[in-house]
Structure 1
Amino acid sequence: MSSTFQLDTSTSRANPTPAPLKRLTIPAIRARKAAGVTAEPIVMLTAYTARQAQLLDAHCDLLLVGDSLGQVIYGLPSSLPVTLDMMIAHGAAVVRGSWHSAVLVDMPFGTYEGSKEQAFASAAQILKETGAAGVKLEGGEAMAETVAFLTRRGIPVMGHVGLTPQAVNVLGGYNARGRSDAEAEKIVTDARALDQAGAFAIVIEGVVEPIAIAATQAVSCPTIGIGASAQCDGQVLVTEDMLGMFERVPRFVRRYEELAETIAGAAQRYAADVRARAFPGDEQTYQPKKG
């Protein structure tokens, strides 16, 4: 059975689902890639709230509660200040708002790098308190032992190589990775190490396309590209980027809507009606009953 509650959009209240619903499972996602081929690419988007999850769920295979919520939701300068409590709160909301997609939660910086045991404690807390299907963590070969440790203990793990935002201070910025031979070799090696450690999928972010293709071909598990290649086994974007919620458009983003303009326009019309005393009207007020 999947989530036990769905959001009633007429009241904004969570109500029990009328019937058991079946989610996509991690083994089903992993099985999309067989003999090195993924016939049906995997669709993943970020989600941070129950309502957002509702709207995205039917169209996605995976919903990622990304630590990008630090910038997108909280206005932080990076994902580094994001806490485990923040990820759990949003993760639980996304699980409640979805029924079809498998939900993954990013492990925030500082909650898994210290030791395998620390990683297990953090990941177990996330799964217990959110109902999510698995976790995602950044890092390649250096995190392979941790990935194996978690996987053997029943925690599905998605890896993340290439441009790893939590390591921005070491990387020196958000530039594309894999331009040098040494860096390109490391990305492919990192992907192989995570695959062999048991990661069910690997995000490849901000990597020059030939290296993203090489890494995809080098591993048996699916790869999820973001700023990588259409030849990856799936794709992910930050939903707010895809919907045009911010002025800045990263090179790897295709905007499918301009919601910022729509929202600003609606707010402008609302403000004008309020100032003109045109809102609320008779339809939005309660009048005395006649007779």
Structure 2
Amino acid sequence: MHKRIARWFQDKKNGIKRAVVTAYDHPFARFAAAAGVHGILVGDSLGMVVAGAPDTLAVTLEQMAYHTQMVARAAGDCLVFADLPFGTYEKGPEQAWDAAVTLLRAGADVIKLEGGAEMAPTVAFCTARGINICAHIGLTPQRVRQWGSFQRQGTSAESARRLQADAETLAEAGARFLVLEAVPDTLAARITRDLTIPTIGIGAGPDTDAQVLVMHDLLGLGAESPPFARRYIEGGQVMRDALAEYVRDVGSGHFPPRRKV
């Protein structure tokens, strides 16, 4: 096992929490690494937060590779996770392998894919061939058009049992990590306790082994954030104020300053 991944497993045993954020380019990855973040996810969420689309489905493998390459150059000791986008892995293990290799060559350390027990053969195929896989269950954004909206998952006894079974099956297939998104806190805590692999929560309470937030939510760069996210700064307002000051300075002649020579 890669030593950086082994450290995550050791931290799980010791109860040490890890922090993950999304990043889609070199400057944001550089800031994240400098701040001591443990993992950077190059998420297909870029389709929404960067490209302004209503969901993630239009993101291509070529786009993911491009953004992964930018992030990997600045990630330092951060573990780089990269999403397999919609339509690049669902046909079967061989398709997933080909797509994963593209992202590995772009600089990813771990490849993330969405889906439950039905993805276990793909996970097993890839891990047997040396790829570190992060599975993703609960709210799976690539299936938003199937669900109809970004719905919280695992809220009934039946769906909670299904997610628990999915988690166990994916771990047994060889997944190194498991993202739990928008599931009840108690379910996330139970899955985290029962699995030997690290769990990464988003909207899944405080008891997962790590947390992940979208960088643009954390920095307050969007008009609004999901209810589980914390806006640590109103970065959008800071940027608007700076830009408005620039506009005023240009209009008043204060920028650029006059040079004597």
* Structure-1-length-normalised TM-score: 0.86
Question: C-alpha distance in 2, partners of 1:249/1:88?
Answer: 26
Q: 1:87 aligns with which of 64, 70, 78?
A: 64
- Deviation per residue, 1:183-232 (Å, 9 max, x gap): 11111111111111111110000001111112212211111110001011
Matches within 5 A, 1:50-61: 50-58=26-34, 59-61=36-38
Partner SS for 1:33: helix
Per the TM alignment, residue 154 of structure 1 is displaced from its structure 2 partner at its CA by: 0.5
Per the TM alignment, residue 79 of structure 1 is displaced from its structure 2 partner at its CA by: 0.4
> 1:79 corresponds to which letter in structure 2?
T
RMSD: 1.4
Q: 2:12 aligns with which of 33, 56, 60?
A: 33
Q: 2:217 aligns with which of 233, 241, 254?
A: 241
Quick one: structure 1 residues 62 and 24, their matched pair in 2 at CA, closer, same or farther if it must change by over 3 Å?
farther
Partner SS for 2:114: coil
User: Kindly, what percent of the aligned residue pairs are identical?
Assistant: 40
Structure 2 residue 111 is matched with structure 1 residue 111: no
Partner of 1:149: 125
Matches within 5 A, 1:113-192: 113-128=90-105, 130-192=106-168
Q: 2:255 aligns with which of 268, 279, 287?
A: 279
> 1:245 corresponds to which letter in structure 2?
L
> 2:160 corresponds to which letter in structure 1?
A
Partner of 1:260: 236
- Deviation per residue, 1:79-114 (Å, 9 max, x gap): 000000110001000010121101111100000011
Question: C-alpha distance in 1, partners of 2:16/2:190?
Answer: 19
- Deviation per residue, 1:136-195 (Å, 9 max, x gap): 000110101101110010000011010000011122211211111111111111111111
Question: C-alpha distance in 1, partners of 2:136/2:116?
Answer: 7
> 1:70 corresponds to which letter in structure 2?
G
Structure 2 residue 77 is matched with structure 1 residue 100: yes
Q: 1:45 aligns with which of 12, 15, 21?
A: 21
Question: Does the 8 Å contact 1:26/1:133 carry over to 2?
Answer: no
Structure 2: stretches of 5+ with no match in the other structure: none
Per the TM alignment, residue 28 of structure 1 is displaced from its structure 2 partner at its CA by: 2.4
Q: Which has the larger radius of gyration?
A: 1
Per the TM alignment, residue 126 of structure 1 is displaced from its structure 2 partner at its CA by: 1.1
> 1:109 corresponds to which letter in structure 2?
F
Partner of 2:39: 62
* Structure-2-length-normalised TM-score: 0.95
Per the TM alignment, residue 61 of structure 1 is displaced from its structure 2 partner at its CA by: 1.3
Question: Does the 8 Å contact 1:30/1:201 carry over to 2?
Answer: no
- Deviation per residue, 1:47-67 (Å, 9 max, x gap): 111111111014111110000
Structure 1: stretches of 5+ with no match in the other structure: 1-22
Partner SS for 1:137: strand
Question: Does the 8 Å contact 1:25/1:133 carry over to 2?
Answer: no
Aligned length: 259
Per the TM alignment, residue 24 of structure 1 is displaced from its structure 2 partner at its CA by: 6.2
